[in-house]
Amino acid sequence: MEAIDIRRQVVIACRALGIEGVTRGPVGHVSARVPGTEDEFFIKARGVEEEGLEFVTDLDIIRINSDGAVIEGADGLTPPAETALHLAVYEAQADAKSVIHVHPSWIVALSAVGRELLPIFGSYDSQAAYLALQGIPTYQSSVSIHEMATGREVAKVMGTSPVCVLKGHGIVVSGKSVEDSLHLSMATHELGRMNWLAAAVGTPQPISSSDYELFDQRQKRRSNKQVRREDGVSAFWHYMERRISGYGGDVV
């Protein structure tokens, strides 16, 4: 994909996260590697006229290098305070093409009482179920990630996982594309919402071990797993583009 297409995807992902209530107001950011580079990134910037993520346009996106310095962007825009979190995840996960950091209320509430995101469903949302079955690590501090040293601590806890919960703070997600990181962010948000709802009326029960095994086997058996997954991501992305267009306003 061309750089302009990736930049547009960053805008779409921001809007989708805002419209779906995955984060609040202007809190949170999406970034992506600039195609053809290993150390340049598009990221949603901060600025005096900053609004909620659902209103992000192309003008809110800046290009930065791996030191967090702005290479390209409108006057008055600066990288987010937690840019180091993005850079540290890219540094640790060489195959990450996009990183999202948001503050989903359901997940922050659950982390505050020490509840893990359990695999309480299967086919309801297979992406979310598989994430939970694999286990989602939790970074135990609620501080904002302003320095690379702290970002690297998070990346270490995250390991090779595509998702990490930041206790009392939010989540960070890495994807193989912007589509993938948005899909993973939405799935994690839904996992948190469903765990919260289950906990509100009883004690959440993970799916049975036999269900777990069947689910795991099916995931591994899919010879064309990657194709299917990409199809799923694309269908999801198409849906999100439709959702965004329904709210009016130009993306760029």
Strands annotated E in the chain = 29-33, 40-44, 61-65, 70-72, 98-102, 138-139, 163-166, 170-175
Chain centroid offset of residue 188 CA = 8
Spatial separation of the C-alpha atoms in residues 34 and 86, rounded to whole Å: 14
Of residues 19, 8, 22, 31, the one with CA closest to residue 96: 31
Place of tokens 């694999």: 134
Q: Which amino acid is at 219?
A: Q
Catalytic one of 20, 54, 82, 179: 82
**Residue 82 catalytic?**
yes
Name the DSSP class of 23. S
Of the candidates 156, 154, 149, which has an alpha carbon nearest to the alpha carbon of residue 170? 154
Amino acid at position 227, single letter: V
Count of residues for the chain? 252
Q: Would you name the residues annotated as active-site residues?
A: 82
